[in-house]
Structure 1
Amino acid sequence: MSSSGEADKRPQTVSVSLTELKDSSVSLDTLEEAFGPASLGIIIVRDLPERFVELRKRLLSYSSYFANLPAEELAKVEKPEAKYDVGWSCGKETLANGRYDTLKGSYYAQPIHDTELEAKARRLYPNVPEMTSPNTWPTEDVLPGFEKLFEDLCRLIVDTAALVARNCDRYGVAKLDGYREGTLEHIVRTSVCTKARLLHYFPPPPSPATEEVEARPDSAMAFDDDWCATHHDLGALTGLTSQMFVDEGIHTPHATPDESGLLPSLPELDSHPDANAGLWIKDRSGRKTLVQIPRDCLAFQTGEALQLITKGKFKAVPHYVRGAAAGKAGQIARNTLAVFTQPNLWEKVDEERDFARLAQVTIDNAL
């Protein structure tokens, strides 16, 4: 286990190996340190399969290629009837100040497939198209190999999430009255409502407003919510890759396939010029911590469904993605992948609500 402590005793980031997860040897204390009431609600998993590094770099490069497609190609994979929660979405969400978020593009797909369960979801919940609509993929001539690449990486992330869930189930059985063994692992492995989101944060245009903020002495925190408003995740465990920073001013995201038949991986910056850009988590005391995920690791973050399933023993934490300060943004884009493992729509998250009800309220509030 590794951590980064500070003099103010703020919560630490917890790291475990894939082998520890497979062996179910992660201690209950470690799980509580990662996900409990005083935690950051996130765990780093290291020592992943070798193919992960290449899959991550390829798919996150595709995020730049995708977001820079012509408008007519992007329109082909939009699904307004699914509230833009399937396929391409840009400029449909609002930030903390109420303005529409045009600095972030998203591609959504559901990577877990089971024909019978998908049919059941559509039959029981005909009015939840954002969770039951079939995926829509860009064609092979537009983004060659994208669908397979996307699903291969998502499957690896879901398989790893299931191991995290198995260890969380050990905690539930030991600490919670009436907790059923295998509850969370079953959700992660079988739910057809798990949703993946490939994200592209566009290089932000400079503006007088951002330049004015940069000049203020508190500018290190002035750009909270610039890229993604503060929120809790909806599902159980959210799998996160490390962020990829690409200087699109130098490496234009337009290319032809290489010898593999895929579009080439884009050169990746070691870090963003603005050290404060990236994923921030607010702990229970309201303090903010910038979380760094190594490129060869995955992180798993707690969501609202997990908090409800564990009766509050594991907490969903508020977090946001902060943009770069004026003068430091340049033409640098940020790409990442989030996989939200979520219960099937009919599965109960507490004594009164199934996941469909929880999801509907959350999505409606976001629009």
Structure 2
Amino acid sequence: MACSPEAAPPTVQTVTISYSELKDKNADLSMKIEEGFGPNSLGILSITDVPGYTSLRQNLLHLSPRLAKLPEEVKKELEDPHSRYNFGWSHGKEKLESGKPDILKGSFYANPILDIPTTEASLIQRYPSYCGTNIWPDNALPELEVVIVPKTVIPCRLGADGIQIMVPSQVVFGEDEIAYQIGETTEILSRGFLCATPHCVRAPKGEKASGLERSTFAFFMQPDWDEKLNFPQDVHIHKELILSNGSLTFGEYSEKLLDKYYHMKT
């Protein structure tokens, strides 16, 4: 069924780096990185031709709604309040800018590298958002027993709701590409040379919202929790959280930031 035409914003393609270029230790990618993440950039680039990515992505996308539809008592067992829900299941715990709980999004967080990052009690107490243990739905949704059921996929049209990069143009990249955005920690570490990507998620409204669900898989890369962050004077990011000496560890900064946007730690 054809949709009525709507005025779409102009499009701009992301800067791309192929997987083979990324693995080539002799490849100079500095120009592409500057084009993708520099002061005058969109703040995004994408990686192409990643082996096996398309099938892995589809498997995860089909698994996502199955997780969300588990019984509430099962999902409750997957929650970790101590980490401010940064491990396991989270629904209605994160807050919108208005201060109201975000009840339209469910999230599942896990460390994809280490199931148990550390057993040192002092670190777990100091950085609960990073040093917690993964919580897997082993009984309710074991990974090896996942059955992929064919679904109807509706391609995202230009100008559609969902995650939005806050620039005048519509940013586009292929389904088989992995998009990388820069976060504020990288902007701090680069002293403002690499710029964080302003973005938001817009929910569809009215008839467009009926019967639709949106699944997104994000992989966060970050410094070690004891990495010192020295905040440059000309990078105005969360100045109210920074100590007078202008220095915090990444873990300390993250805990302060989570206190601001999530439930305060008791």
Specify the TM-score bucket, using the shorter chain as the normaliser.
Answer: 0.7 to 0.9
- C-alpha distance 310-10 of structure 1, shift in aligned 2 (>3 A): farther
Count of residues in Structure 1 that have an aligned counterpart in Structure 2: 238
**Could you tell me how far apart the structure 1 residues matched to 2:190 and 2:34 are?**
12
User: 1:129: which partner in 2?
Assistant: 128
Normalising by structure 1, what TM-score?
0.60
- C-alpha distance 16-270 of structure 1, shift in aligned 2 (>3 A): farther
User: 1:35: which partner in 2?
Assistant: 37
Equivalent pair of 1:143/1:263 in contact (CA under 8 Å): no
State the SS of the aligned residue for 1:358: helix
Q: How does 1:321-340 map to 2 (within 5 A)?
A: 321-340=201-220
Equivalent pair of 1:274/1:329 in contact (CA under 8 Å): no
State the SS of the aligned residue for 2:218: strand
1:11 is displaced (CA, Å) by 7.4
Residue among 147, 157, 171 paired with 1:263: 147
1:98 is displaced (CA, Å) by 2.4
1:346 aligns with 2:230: no
State the SS of the aligned residue for 1:65: helix
1:275 is displaced (CA, Å) by 4.1
**Could you tell me how far apart the structure 1 residues matched to 2:200 and 2:137 are?**
29
1:313 aligns with 2:193: yes
Equivalent pair of 2:115/2:134 in contact (CA under 8 Å): no
Residue among 44, 48, 57 paired with 2:46: 44
**Could you tell me how far apart the structure 1 residues matched to 2:211 and 2:218 are?**
23
User: 2:63: which partner in 1?
Assistant: 62
Equivalent pair of 2:50/2:177 in contact (CA under 8 Å): yes
State the SS of the aligned residue for 1:126: helix
Opposite residue 118 of structure 1, the aligned amino acid is T
Deviations 1:1-58 (A, max 9, x none): xxxxxxx999762112111212253542221110011112111111110x22111111
- C-alpha distance 338-91 of structure 1, shift in aligned 2 (>3 A): same
User: 2:251: which partner in 1?
Assistant: 356
1:289 is displaced (CA, Å) by 4.2
Q: How does 1:177-326 map to 2 (within 5 A)?
A: 261-272=145-156, 275-282=159-166, 287-326=167-206
Opposite residue 278 of structure 1, the aligned amino acid is G
State the SS of the aligned residue for 1:327: helix
Equivalent pair of 2:13/2:172 in contact (CA under 8 Å): no
Opposite residue 209 of structure 2, the aligned amino acid is A
**Could you tell me how far apart the structure 2 residues matched to 1:349 and 1:130 are?**
18
Equivalent pair of 2:36/2:42 in contact (CA under 8 Å): yes
**Could you tell me how far apart the structure 1 residues matched to 2:109 and 2:46 are?**
24
Deviations 1:108-159 (A, max 9, x none): 11112286x6235x434523212111111112x411216xxxxxxxxxxxxx
- Unpaired runs of 5+ residues, structure 2, are 1-8, 232-246
State the SS of the aligned residue for 2:220: strand
Normalising by structure 2, what TM-score?
0.81
**Could you tell me how far apart the structure 2 residues matched to 1:301 and 1:13 are?**
11
- Unpaired runs of 5+ residues, structure 1, are 1-7, 147-260
State the SS of the aligned residue for 2:63: helix
User: 1:366: which partner in 2?
Assistant: 261
1:76 is displaced (CA, Å) by 0.8
User: 2:118: which partner in 1?
Assistant: 118
Residue among 127, 142, 145 paired with 1:144: 142
Deviations 1:48-83 (A, max 9, x none): 10x221111111211100001110111110111221
Opposite residue 76 of structure 1, the aligned amino acid is E
Equivalent pair of 2:14/2:44 in contact (CA under 8 Å): yes
- C-alpha distance 10-328 of structure 1, shift in aligned 2 (>3 A): closer
Equivalent pair of 2:226/2:249 in contact (CA under 8 Å): yes
Opposite residue 57 of structure 2, the aligned amino acid is R
Deviations 1:248-289 (A, max 9, x none): xxxxxxxxxxxxx3221442424247842122112xxxx344
Opposite residue 315 of structure 1, the aligned amino acid is C
CA RMSD of aligned residues (A): 2.5
**Could you tell me how far apart the structure 1 residues matched to 2:153 and 2:98 are?**
30
The 10-residue stretch of structure 1 (21-30 or 56-65) with the greater mean CA deviation from structure 2: 21-30
1:78 aligns with 2:79: yes
**Could you tell me how far apart the structure 2 residues matched to 1:59 and 1:42 are?**
23
State the percentage of identical aligned residues: 34
Opposite residue 107 of structure 1, the aligned amino acid is F
Opposite residue 30 of structure 2, the aligned amino acid is L
